[in-house]
Amino acid sequence: MLEDWIEDGLGELSGCTLQLPSGLVVQLIESTHAIRHFHLRGPALYADAKDVHLAGIDPVLSDALAVLGLNPTDVEWTNQAPTATDVAGFEKAGAKSSK
């Protein structure tokens, strides 16, 4: 289900959460501000860093594109998969913020 909301500092956002055939959960989030001011063409795909580290960015992206009926040429930019050190840092930061 597509949802719309306003987030402080980011403005109007729209998005949804999808579970891929692999079982991984991803989010598609589109920012009106980013489209208007940075000329992005559409939503960003977000996945849990640990999931992407374990599965690899290419399989996650390929799975998401297949579900969405998109081609690799529809992708403007991809990030690098996080390293084990990156994931450990995210987990440590998350543990601190939940205290």
Q: Quick one: DSSP state of residue 44?
A: E
Asked if pLDDT for residue 94 goes beyond 90, the answer is no
Task: For 28-77, write each residue's pLDDT tens digit.
Answer: 999 999 999 998 888 999 999 999 999 999 999 999 999 999 999 999 99
Q: How many domains does the chain have?
A: 1
How much is the pLDDT for 69? 95
Q: What is the pTM assigned to this prediction? A: 0.84
Q: How far apart are CA 69 and CA 80, in angstroms?
A: 23
Q: Which domain holds residue 66?
A: 3-97
